[in-house]
Structure 1
């Protein structure tokens, strides 16, 4: 089968021919119709987690998949051959399997039936980014009536977070650029703050002098990148980046928590899929590309040139 692999530690990803994966107990073999690209693929490709978790090469990239079940392993009774499904490969060592391939073996517990009205490309974009958005909102306790600032709203996770927060009845303030403002409002943002036009916290405070109730942080490598001053005293913060840490938020009198790595299970994937199938959640696709162009797609994500989700199609 064709697959996008990292041939060995430190080497550039490439398209290669591999054997179809062997099927283990509790797994299902999926013939891939579509697979999403995520920033985490570049982290794995660079060896960014190699010291923390075992990597085995050649390492196939990709974590999210939509396709058709070709076979089921021992002990699998709740997924049937021929079913159209959405799946996710959890962040568990050793890293070797991936979804950027014609076939992938996935734990049945991380596979949900795809609603018939939801296309494979939109479905493949859901698990990791949608799951991370949902986890970040839950960590901050986002609920109806709150004002929520989503920092990094124009990325793949951010566009889901905007929609999900709006669905909860929150007033959503999204960071983006003037070019992305219209689309973010279409997705449910009540206001868009242009992070290129000046400090985000200052702009937010002009709109909400008392501060927002919640900050959902999806961008930034240092605490100075995070607009903590936009949050009211006693407000809450959640983050999917390494900052701010718990000590920083506590020192500022803020609550909340961090999300290290989202790893959505069947229930989370099924919830996202049903919401999308009903038309209440959109997979905002910036690109749909063939497997032959997947490496270039990863390059664009690494360079920050892709907004929304990039999905590879193999159908």
Structure 2
């Protein structure tokens, strides 16, 4: 099978032939029809987690996929060969399996029967990003009438977070580039702060002098990049990136911390049903062939993605 993979530690990803994975107990082998790209793919390609998780090579990139069940392993009884499904390869040791390949082996716990109202590309854009957004929204525990800042609202996770928050009758302030503003308002944001025009916390405080009630932070490479000063004392914070430690949050009078996506079917199945019903928009920015998957990862690495990038496979 063709797969975008890292052949050995320190090497660049290449597109080449690898054996089709053997189905194992508790897993589902699918013929991939579409695979969603995530920033995590670039992290794994660079070996950034090699000290935390053992990496086995060749390492196939990609976490999310939608396709047709080819075979099921022992103990799997909720899907069967021929069904259209989507799912995720979790970040768990050893890091080797991935979805940017013609066949992918997924843990059964993440595999969901694809609603008929979703095409493969849309389904493949859901698992990791939507689950991360759901986890962040749950973490902050907001109440109707409160104001929430989504820092990084223009990205794949952010667009889901804006929508999930808007259904809870809260005021959503999103950060984005000027080109993002109209779409974010359509998705449920009340206002959009241009992060290119100055420090986010200062610009948010200009709108809400007493601070917002909660922060969902989806961007930044260091804890200092998290705009804690935008949040009032007593507020809550959820971040998918480099989180301030407990002492830093406590000193600012805040609660919360880092969240991790759990794209198991109990989480992703309801989100897929919302999407199929037209109640959760899935913003797919581009659909690329496997030959251009590395190009899509480059767009993510440069921070230029608007919504999700999906790699599509032929029949």
Fold agreement, TM-score > 0.5:
yes
Q: Does residue 141 of structure 1 match 2:112? A: no
Structure 1 pair 262–247 and aligned structure 2 pair: CA distance change class (3 A): same
Counterpart for residue 41 of structure 2 = 41
Deviation string 1:46-105 (CA, Å, 9 cap, x unpaired) is 000111101111000000011111111111111111111110111110111100011111
Q: C-alpha separation between the residues in 2 aligned to 1:303 and 1:222?
A: 17
TM-score after normalising by structure 1 = 0.97
Displacement after TM superposition at 1:144 (Å): 2.2
Structure 2 partner of 1:292: 291
What are the Cα deviations for residues 188-217 of structure 1, in whole angstroms up to 9, with x where unaligned? 110000111122112211211221110111
Distance 1:204 1:51 in 2: 38
Give the structure 2 partner of residue 4 of structure 1. Answer: 4
Write the distance in 1 (CA, Å) between the matches of 2:258 and 2:99: 27
Moved more, 109-118 or 135-144: 135-144
Query: Does the 8 A contact of 1:220 with 1:243 survive in 2?
Result: no
Gaps of 5+ in 1: none
The residue aligned with 1:58 is 58
Matches within 5 A, 1:60-209: 60-209=60-209
Contact map agreement 1:245 1:258 (CA 8 A) in 2: no
Instruction: Report the secondary structure of 1:196's partner residue.
Output: helix
**Displacement of 1:224 after TM fit?**
3.1
Corresponding residue for residue 279 of structure 1: 278
The reply to whether residue 305 of structure 1 matches residue 304 of structure 2 is yes
Aligned residues: 314
Mapping of residues 193-232 of structure 1, within 5 Å = 193-232=193-232
Find the residue that maps to 2:196 and give its secondary structure. Answer: coil
Task: Report the Cα distance in structure 1 between the residues aligned to 2:171 and 2:32, rounded to whole angstroms.
Answer: 38
Two-structure CA RMSD over aligned residues (Å)? 1.1
Does the 8 A contact of 2:211 with 2:230 survive in 1?
Answer: yes
Aligned to 2:235: 235
TM-superposed CA distance for 1:238, in Å, is: 0.9
User: Quick one: distance in 2 between partners of 1:66 and 1:292?
Assistant: 18
**C-alpha offsets along residues 138-191 of structure 1, whole Å, 9 cap, x if unaligned?**
111134221100011111111111111111211100001111111111111100
Gap regions ≥5 residues in structure 2: none
- Which is worse superposed, 247-256 or 219-228? 219-228
**Native 8 Å contact 2:243 2:257 kept in 1:** no
* TM-score normalised according to structure 2 size: 0.97
